Copies of this chain bind each other. A is one copy, B any other.
Amino acid sequence: MRERRAVKFELLHGGRRGPRLGRLQIGAIEVPTPAFMPVGTRASVKTLGCEDLEEIGAKLILANTYHLHLRPGADLIQRRGGLHRFMSWEGGILTDSGGFQVHSLAGLRRILPEGVEFRSHLDGSRHLFTPERTVEIQAALGSDIHMVLDVCTTYPAEERQAAAEMETTLRWAERSKRQREQMLSSGAPVGALFGIVQGGLYPRLRQRCARELASLGFDGYALGGLSVGEPASQRPAVMDATLETLPAEDPRYLMGVGTPADILDAVGRGVDLFDCVLPSRNARKGTVFTWDGKMVVKNRVYAEDDTPIDAECGCCACRRYSRAYLRHLFQVGEYLGGRLATIHSLAFYQQLMERIRQAIAEEQFSSFAAATLSRMGVGAVE
């Protein structure tokens, strides 16, 4: 069993609201924030090896408890020495609790007081995730940061329902925290634990949830239940209400978001951490992100274009290959197309976060964000 690495966050610049700079320390790994986590749901960032993640400069990735619990199983991964050793990744790993996947993938989900009962989307087998069990599974996986089990309120939801789900989320957060403390006091290895703020699109509920979680005390706080189909116009009020209520000194993580425009907006409000399947999923389908906006590289218009995807990008796809070659790979359905596009888009997201951090350090975030959005054009901002 590998040594559990300590997780610490230091706020270097900014406060409760507005753009922040920070440092998330995971053992010897230093993750400067704001940071974007590539998504490695099933212990693999699709099409990439860990050497590719190192090459693009990723320091922290996300894996998924629901998927890994079903296959290959947390016990098996624990016997391999944990997720880091299993997938040969020295960087940080945050595991999502699986609450969202139980909702979006599993059949016959039933929310019970003790937890959530569901059937596997793979074979229909019956499972029960309790808050306690979910912490245990993540501890067995050996991730550096665990997420509490929550009830993700989706859009649309009446206030009464959002309130009930938020209260359940709070009770489960408390039980998750207690479980972690018991494991710690008995000497069992367990990672840092982040709480998740729910409450639908009701700022009052979000604030109550944030306040209660903060008074319980977690290593970090996530904004859940956003980017689940709600109108984008309703997000700012919810985010602002939540962020101003959360303690300034702890990291804030906006789950499952988003486009470069979404990230610029959220950083401006005070978010430190992001994850999203968008750049990698789009890339596999032939659409990449660049400083000049989204680009459908599989389009015919690039068939004779000898320039790289993005002349400003230094990723190994842009250093070596042309748009014409990528377009050909997508046209004929070669695996390499999705891989090169994924390398580029994830490298681009890392570069975006780096320029964001630089702009914040230089106190020029607003003008940087405006210039970037304008350059990317409306196509990129959706």
Contact = CB atoms under 8 A, between A and B. Distances in A.
Interface string A37-54: 000001110111111000
Interface stretch (A79-87, A234-242, A261-269, A348-356): A79-87
Contact of A51 (B76, B86, B88, B316): B316
Contacts of A76: 303-304, 324
Contacts of A43: 325, 328
Interface in A139-156: none
A320 interface: yes
A324 B43 CA distance: 12
A184 interface: no
Contacts of A339: 47, 49, 335, 339
Given A320-B49, A321-B88, A331 B71 contact: yes
A2 to B, nearest CB: 13
B44 A336 contact: yes
Interface residues of A, number: 38
Contact of A72 (B86, B306, B328, B340): B328
Q: Copy number in this complex?
A: 2
Contacts of A316: 49, 51
A187 B285 CA distance: 43
Nearest to A321: B88
A10 interface: no
A338 to B, nearest CB: 7
A332 interface: yes
B80 A48 contact: no
A334 interface: yes
B49 A332 contact: no
B336 A80 contact: no
A329 interface: yes
Given A48-B336, A335-B338, A322 B71 contact: no
A43 B51 CA distance: 24
Contacts of A51: 316, 320
Contacts of A50: 320
Given A51-B316, A88-B320, A320-B51, A304 B80 contact: yes
A214 to B, nearest CB: 37
Given A51-B320, A67-B332, 4 more contacts: A42-B334, A44-B335, A80-B306, A86-B328
29 contacts: A42-B332, A44-B329, A44-B336, A46-B336, A47-B335, A49-B320, A49-B340, A67-B332, A71-B328, A71-B331, A72-B303, A72-B324, A72-B332, A76-B303, A76-B304, A76-B324, A79-B304, A80-B304, A80-B322, A80-B325, A81-B306, A86-B322, A86-B325, A87-B325, A88-B320, A88-B321, A88-B322, A335-B338, A335-B339
